[in-house]
Amino acid sequence: MTKSMAPRCPEVLAFGEAMVEFNQSQPGSPQYLQGFGGDTSNFCIAAARQGARTGFVSAVGDDHFGRLLLELWRREQVDTATVRVDRSAPTGVYFVSHGEHGHAFDYLRAGSAASRYASGELPLEAIAAARVIHLSGISFAISASACDAAFAAIDHARANGVRVSFDTNLRLKLWPLARARAVMLEALRRTDICLPSWDDVTLLTGHEERDAIVDALLDCGPVVVALKLGKDGAYVATRDERRLVPGFAVEALDATGAGDCFGGAFIARIVAGDDPFTAARYANAAAALSTRGYGAVAPIPEADAVRALLEG
């Protein structure tokens, strides 16, 4: 199936894990509010809200939480044809507790449907028909089988002319730094567009200066690096040019998922034909707006709101 023959296929796919979130309503409270998490899922929703045709590659359990996630994606117009329902494993969940020292996270993901995902389950036709496939460090970190599947997805994408987008999203609770470095180096060698965060790449590269960081990343293989700098914007580099793209000042309440929103908006605009610097300005605006509410999903802005900020 060629890309021109598949107009309804997702143009942006993401491979990874989604979970149901229970977020403590306030410090010390026994009440937890239900929500959704998962960096690649957040990415997909952000891209979809900017107008991209997106699909998610993952697995959920045949349980209430899995059905909630499927309903979420369908509401958000994220294609679920590539989400497998595993009848012998649960959907992962996690809890966010709040205290005087900040947030604490407790994950129940061992043996989850997403962590059991294997290479033989990949939707090869959908991957070949996409224009971009996106993965994160978590896509590789959650299990050995998921790591193998992530590399297989990348290799199949590249063999079919599909660009690879990668967000480092380093989580040292999931794997030791040495292992993360080794795996991410291999991933970067097969990556076209790298969307790292500052804290991740200072650890991964050992550098503290942004030009040294992007030099190290570009040397690995990507042709575009958009280094996320939070409220300061993004430092965008190609082989020929690099530029600081400033952020947007907003009254921020919660930065949860802002980096995922940036990534989804950035790739949506790349697919729409923007150059990386124009795409980064748009993504900075989307990410800024996403911090004006609580949670990772609900505050992700629609394209009209992003345009209004850009033109305001």
Active site residues: 260
56 burial type by CB count under 10 A (0-12 exposed, 13-18 middle, 19+ buried): buried
On whether the CB atoms of residues 103 and 126 are closer than 8 A, the answer is no
Q: Which two tokens stand for residue 154?
A: 């990348």
Q: Which two tokens stand for residue 47?
A: 């891209």
Asked whether the CA dihedral 183, 240, 198, 10 is positive or negative, the reply is negative
On whether the CB atoms of residues 95 and 106 are closer than 8 A, the answer is yes
**Interacting residues of 247 by C-beta distance below 8 A, sequence separation 6+:** 229, 230, 231, 232, 233, 234, 284, 287, 288
On whether the CB atoms of residues 214 and 235 are closer than 8 A, the answer is yes
SS3 22: strand
Q: Which two tokens stand for residue 237?
A: 């580099």
